[in-house]
Amino acid sequence: MTRKLTPNPSCSIGGVKMADQGVADPGNNNNNKPETSEGTIIKVTVKTPKDKEEIAIAEDASVTQFKEEISRRFKAKQDQLVLIFAGKILKDGDSLSQHGIKDGLTVHLVIKTAHNPSLCNYLHSNTTSGFGDLASLAGLGMGSANFMELQQQMQRQLMSNPEMLSQIMENPLVQNMMSNPDLMRQMIMANPQMQQLMERNPEISHMLNNPELMRQTMELARNPAMMQEMMRNQDRALSNLESIPGGYNALRRMYTDIQEPMFSAAREQFGSNPFSALGGSSESGAQPSRTENREPLPNPWGPPNSSNPSESGGSTTGSTSTTGGSNPSVSNPLGINPGSLGNGMFSSPGMQSLLQQISENPQLMQNMLSAPYMRSMMSSLAQNPELASQVLMNNPLFAGNPQLQEQFRAQLPIFLQQMQNPESMSVMTNPRAMQALMQIQQGLQTLQTEAPGLMPRYAPTGRYTLDNGFQLFCFFWPSLMTGGIPGIPTGGGMPVENPAPSPSSAATNTAQQQLMQQMLQMFAGGGAGGSTQTPEVRFQSQLDQLNAMGFINREANLQALIATGGDINAAIERLLGSQPS
Amino acid sequence: MATSSEVKVPRNFRLLEELEEGQKGEGDGTVSWGLEDDEDMTLTRWTGMIIGPARTNYENRIYSLKVECGPRYPETAPTVRFVTKISMNGINNSNGTVDSRSIPILAKWQNSYSIKIVLQELRRLMMSKENMKLPQPPEGQTYST
């Protein structure tokens, strides 16, 4: 079916042979048909936004046949394919010739993917620390004995294949992650390599501290080309780190300087930042190694700190990213509301999205836990509590909080037993169990906010709560994996309390119960400590202001104020963030 | 293609070139265009396709458009209309017509612009801050006109 199109016989149109061949025959490719005479096999270029392939197909083939071939070549399912030619979608019932598809022409292809589960396979790169941490989680399923090697391998692959990078960037999961500067910052910080980097280049730490800049960087990072550039820069910087002058203390100091804004970002989740006095104001330079920090921790549940203006930007992002109802949705099958996840000190927005991701992909957790080296590591840790404590101490999140460290050390034996307990393993891998844990957590949090007087007071030392163990575990896992103690695969955080007692041994059960009680006490004590006033009374003026502004939902206002510790601006952002946009 | 202002490119010459380009799939593969009716001698009615850019609310969607190149094209801008329902600044919500005054290149049309550029510009606008997060109607809906 040739097309005749000669609108103006007198006009000579260069470059396009008008003659009898119809317009859709650029440059007269009739002679380029391979082997056979006209009509049989034509070579059509199929182009996606990412790559293109040349496909040989019969000229009189149907679109369906064409799609078959394409699905083979692009490794996608036929019903995911959408073909576009000359501005029209090719329907399965059509034929190629109907649309005038001839040899040498290009057809556009869109592969529809709602959610790309192969993300996990992509994120095996430690080229940027942000990736590295999530990648560690994902990559654990591979069960590689040498994790570092795996990372390096993927890094090499990634560098050599920019396509993969753009594929990674396209993935909505990654995009969600990347669009949350707080999460990125947190992940970046947790990576010891990054810490070293930050030590070398203070500008980076400034960059990380500035949420605005973070967001800009994230925008940059979304552009794969910039990303590559960044990666290269980082590689160069990392290679400079060879000559690090052993300033571990300096490193810790540096890190503590960063902790403050980092935890201020997480501040909206709990009343105040217990580390703010550590990192921020006083000892920017004078802090000795973290284990020697004798300064008493401020009362985290004391009068709320004044809001840190530079963090309100971060909180905004945090609050918008932590919206999400409790209703299970497609992307959140366990109905986990990240906004209510956690009163633990690691319940920053970053943590929450991490948790959400994990809950969305229970397989991840499963993979994580079933990796063979995981077991061996657990057993080695159990045998060697010293090692475990060392590992934990190395985690910079604990830097500067000796009390917490003490707690952990005390809990270690119990914890290790716990981890050995296959029951706790199964709890962690069982999404419903995790959900139950979350629900308990939420319940406790609600209790805490609604009736703080209910729980007995307890000297606030560190706020770690029921599912904190899990959070800590998840959080520690990647950072520790990527470099806790060299050579030793690292252990997790605090014990995950198994609320459904399934004792495998009486000793374990008792330990569990003790732990449970302790945790509850600490948690509850944390909630009630510091002030006998109910939040309502404390925030009366703020509530009035919010009311005047038009936020009439008193309950929500109260929650928001509690979460932000009385900071009106942050509370407003929280409230706004929880509205569907 | 002549870009200097002294030489006026005949309309059909231009449109044939654009047709050829559309069929060859020049560009990055995110827009596509072609004649609506292959027998259209006047090369007036075109269909276009825009693939929604990633990381926006338009992602993963394919937007179909109708472009009409009038007799004075390329001196005057074409009229563009979305067929697929879309929520975007400058696009009429009820019938999908693109407001020529709101889209910069349509408002300040130059004869060196082309259908491809229009489509690409619309796609670029989808990525703008003001558009990228606009809630979109369910996929697959079209305007009734």
CB contact, 8 Å: B38 with chain A?
A: yes
Q: Strand pairing partners for A83?
A: A109
Distance CA A322, CA A183 (A): 11
CB contacts of B19 in chain A (<8 Å) are 23-24, 86
Beta-carbon separation of A85 and B34 below 8 A: yes
> Is A196 within the bounds of a domain?
yes
Q: Which of A449, A474, A502 is the last residue of a domain?
A: A449
**Cα dist. B64→A84, A177, B51, B82 in Å?**
10, 31, 9, 6
In this complex, the residue of A45, A89, A113 whose CB is nearest that of residue B62 is: A89
The domain in which residue A217 lies consists of 164-222
Q: What domains can you pick out in chain B, each with its CATH number?
A: 11-127 (3.10.110.10)
Residues of B with CB below 8 A from A98's CB?
none
Question: Nearest by CB to B25, which of A7, A82, A107?
Answer: A107
Cβ neighbors of A530 (< 8 A, separation 6 or more) are A299, A300, A301, A302, A303, A460
| Angstrom distance (rounded) from CA A304 to CA A300 | 8
What residue in B sits closest to A90 (Cα-Cα)? B49
A375 assigned to some structural domain: yes
Residue B6, pLDDT score: 63
> What is the per-residue pLDDT for A15?
41
pLDDT attached to residue A134: 43
Residue A471's nearest CA partner among A339, A326, A344 is A344
Q: What is the pLDDT of residue B23?
A: 82
Q: Could you tell me if residue A66 is inside a domain?
A: yes
> Under DSSP, is residue A135 helix (H, G, I), strand (E, B) or coil?
helix
Angstrom distance (rounded) from CA A87 to CA A477? 49
Residue A99 domain flag? yes
Amino acid present at B26: E
Residue A517 is assigned to a structural domain of this protein = no
Query: Pick from B10, B22, B48: which is nearest to A11 by CB?
Result: B10
CB-based contacts of A485, cutoff 8 Å, min separation 6: A387, A390, A391, A394
Tens of pLDDT, residue by residue over B23-42, are 887 667 788 898 988 888 89
Q: Domain for residue A277, yes or no?
A: no
B48 touches chain A (CB under 8 A): yes
Q: A398, A420, A449: which is the final residue of a domain?
A: A449
What pLDDT score does A541 carry? 86
Q: Is residue A428 part of a domain?
A: yes
Query: Which of A84, A100, A106 is nearest residue B38 as measured by Cβ atoms?
Result: A100
Which residues of chain A register pLDDT less than 50?
1-38, 115-147, 242, 265-293, 304-352, 395-400, 455-509, 521-531, 580-581
Give residue A525's pLDDT: 43
- Total structural domains within chain A: 4
Contact B39 A16 (CB under 8 A): no
- What is residue A355's predicted lDDT score, i.e. its pLDDT? 52
- The number of beta carbons lying within 10 Å of the beta carbon of residue A541 is 10
Other CB atoms within 10 A of residue A6 CB: 14
- Same structural domain, A97 and A175: no
Contacting residues for A70 by C-beta, under 8 A, at least 6 apart: A46, A53, A55, A76, A78, A81, A83, A109
Give CA A173 to chain center in angstroms: 8
For A98, the closest chain B residue by CA position comes to B38
Cβ neighbours of residue A496 closer than 8 Å, sequence gap 6 or more: A418, A424, A427, A428, A437, A467, A469, A470, A473
> Which residues of chain B lie closer than 8 angstroms to A95, CB-CB?
none
A552: domain CATH number is 1.10.8.10
For residue B46, what pLDDT is reported? 93
Mention every residue, 6+ apart, whose C-beta is less than 8 A from residue A252.
A287, A289, A290, A396, A399, A400
pTM higher than the cut 0.80: no
Reduce the DSSP state of residue A437 to 3 states and report it: helix
What is the pLDDT, as a whole number, of residue A33? 39
A6, A98, A106, A177: best to mutate for the B interface, most B CBs within 10 A: A106
Q: Which of B35, B42, B55 sits opposite A86 (nearest CB)?
A: B35
- What is the reported pLDDT for A571? 85
ipTM entry? 0.84
- The residue behind tokens 């999530």 is A134
Shortest distance, CA A131 to any CA of chain B (angstroms):
18
The predicted-structure confidence for A430-447, as pLDDT tens digits, reads as follows 667 667 777 887 787 777
Please tell me the distance from the alpha carbon of residue A268 to that of residue A569, in angstroms, as a whole number. 11
Residue A191 in domain: yes
Give the domain-ending residue among A393, A415, A449: A449
Say how far apart CA B31 and CA B48 lie, in whole Å: 7
Chain B residue with minimum CA distance to A580: B135
Verify that A436 and A374 share a domain, yes or no. yes
